[in-house]
Amino acid sequence: MVDGVVFVIEYKLGAIQYDRSSLDQVYGYGLDLKHFHEPSHNRTIVPILVATHAPDNYGRPFQWDDDRLGRPLGVNPEGLLPAIHHMCRVYGGADNDAVAWEAGRYRPTPTIVEAAQALYRGHAVEEISRSEAGAENLTHTADYVANAIELAKRDRRKIICFVTGVPGSGKTLAGLNLATARQRAHSDEHAVFLSGNGPLVDVLREALALDAVARAREDGVKTSKTQEDRRAAAFIQNIHHFRDDALASRDAPVEKVAVFDEAQRAWDVEQTSKFMQQKKGQIGFSMSEPEFLLSVMDRHEDWCAIICLVGGGQEINTGEAGIEEWLRALERSFPHWQVHLPESLAHPCQLTDEVSTPALHLATSLRSFRAERLSDFVGHVITGNASAARQVNKELTNFPLYVTRDLDQARRWLRSKRRGAERAGLLASSNAARLKPHGVFVKAKIEPAKWFLAPSDDVRSSDALEDAGTEFDVQGLELDWTCLCWDANYRRVGDGWRALQFKGTRWQAVNDEARKAYVANAYRVLLTRGRQGMVVFVPEGSDEDATRMPTVYDDVYSFLVECGFAPL
């Protein structure tokens, strides 16, 4: 810090140009300070990229963002000191208490990708949690589970722990924290993080491998992408691959500790039986997915531990059983297992050995550093309570919520907000079939790892704002800035919502209550993917197209405005 100006300096040794990725990197460091370091919130911050073999770039016009964060400067070593002197002379003059600045609290809110990378590298959860309450909650939960596992090992018994939490409380983060901690301290347990969310698995694996390769290169350590892919795949597995391996062998799995993410999405008996018979040739298969997974871990002769991470209101696939099926399977077939439940989880099952504790509930939201009550707002929107949504919206002063009838305008807004390594993207329901006239074709599948991780100049990236991610692609993941493209499959009828599906050439009503819930939950998921702000695009419709009648979209638009979305 000089004359009250905070300089963030990144050296690139041997660099002959000021490339976009390096500029974004130092810009990201500046954003990190601005957002998460308390004494920097109101400071002037200047990011500088020093490319050691690049030509002189001094004199390029300098730009400021509205929050006094500068757009990154690019200089060579000879230009660094003149640039600092110039910035101090023109923009300096504030107090220069560097000691107080350095001692200020740093409270980050990483994305799940950044958190996974940090935990995989060996950082503690306290280092990556913005909220002291959130970090304490996560640590308390982790300590409880770790102690339960140690007792299970000592007593040679089998346990299952259910971890619940409010939306955005960090259940996946808690699971990754548990799995990485066990892996580091007890490698013989072969702790594994299992998820049925294919896109989440793909994105996290790719992110971990890319990060490991980059850090090995910086440290001069020899490795390869193939080698790091293999390591990441052993740590984060698709639950369906774990299931298939168990079908191929009757042996106990090598894993003694298994963390099941989004356990409420495991299949019920009907869906599992149908899949096993049709896809795996398992005639007469009559177990639900929870019961089968329990039976696999039960093959261990001595001890094992399952940790189930449980979310609510996120069931988006046919046949997802919810937490009740796990408890019914334990009651019916595994009375010798000790079951650890949060006190807030009421259930009708008669469990032989049940332990209730508040430590297994995560009560603090960590998702958005700008809007801790976003999930409450979205909940009211989905239930159709505009007045309640409007009341909560008054507290979302730092989380912009807009609505527009112009998709190009939404794209311009996203591009104007995204800075550095932040990510923006289009979202749409998987059955938003009549967005196609606007260039949003949900049947064209994205590559989630590329969509979430590729650089902004890659047309497959979310930042290209070409391809929309659906609820299946983005559940459990986040973007900084989102545009939800709202179609007629979730429309206003009277004072409530009606769910529809597009088949052939027309919309058809969804009458099954479970399927209605899937449509509502799809929009719930999509509305909670943004960390910093969101715009909703509601088409104008067309009088010439019976599948896109203007009145349908007008009613949705009016309701969103009534909820508190501001016209863009």
pLDDT at 467: 96
Structure tokens at 562: 């009534």
427 and 468 Cβ atoms separated by less than 8 Å: yes
pLDDT at 475: 86
Structure tokens at 149: 């596992």
Structure tokens at 90: 């023109």
313, pLDDT greater than 70: no
Distance CA 410, CA 77 (A): 40
Higher pLDDT pick, 128 / 199: 199
Q: How far is CA 544 from the centre of its chain?
A: 39
Average pLDDT score over residue span 20-39 = 86
Which residue type does 37 have? H
User: What pairs with residue 503 in β-bridges?
Assistant: 506
Q: How many residues does the chain have?
A: 568
162 and 263 Cβ atoms separated by less than 8 Å: yes
Q: What is the DSSP string of 156-193?
A: T-EEEEEEEESTTS-HHHHHHHHHHHHHHH-GGG--EE
User: What pairs with residue 46 in β-bridges?
Assistant: 7
- Encode pLDDT of 48-66 as tens digits: 999 999 988 766 678 898 8
pLDDT at 51: 92
- Encode pLDDT of 357-397 as tens digits: 999 988 766 656 666 688 889 999 999 999 999 999 999 98
- SS3 call for 11: strand
pLDDT tier for residue 320 given thresholds of 50, 70 and 90: low
pLDDT at 341: 93
201 and 237 Cβ atoms separated by less than 8 Å: yes
From residue 380, how far is each of 16, 328, 400, 483 by CA, in Å? 53, 31, 17, 19
pLDDT at 316: 45
pLDDT at 32: 84
- SS3 call for 248: helix
Backbone angles phi, psi at 315, to 5 degrees: -70, 115
Higher pLDDT pick, 428 / 272: 428
**Confidence (pTM):** 0.81
209 and 232 Cβ atoms separated by less than 8 Å: yes
pLDDT tier for residue 147 given thresholds of 50, 70 and 90: very high
Residues 6+ apart with CB under 8 A from 278: none
Higher pLDDT pick, 160 / 122: 160
From residue 224, how far is each of 215, 452, 475 by CA, in Å? 11, 22, 30
- Encode pLDDT of 152-199 as tens digits: 999 999 999 999 887 667 788 888 888 888 888 888 889 999 988 889
Average pLDDT score over residue span 135-163 = 90
User: Which of 135-139, 348-352, 564-568 has the weakest average pLDDT?
Assistant: 135-139
Structure tokens at 475: 């559940």
User: Which of 209-223, 313-327, 337-351, 473-487 has the weakest average pLDDT?
Assistant: 313-327
Distance CA 176, CA 158 (A): 21
Q: At what angle do helices 289-297 and 323-333 cross, to 10 degrees?
A: 50
Distance CA 331, CA 329 (A): 5
pLDDT tier for residue 555 given thresholds of 50, 70 and 90: very high
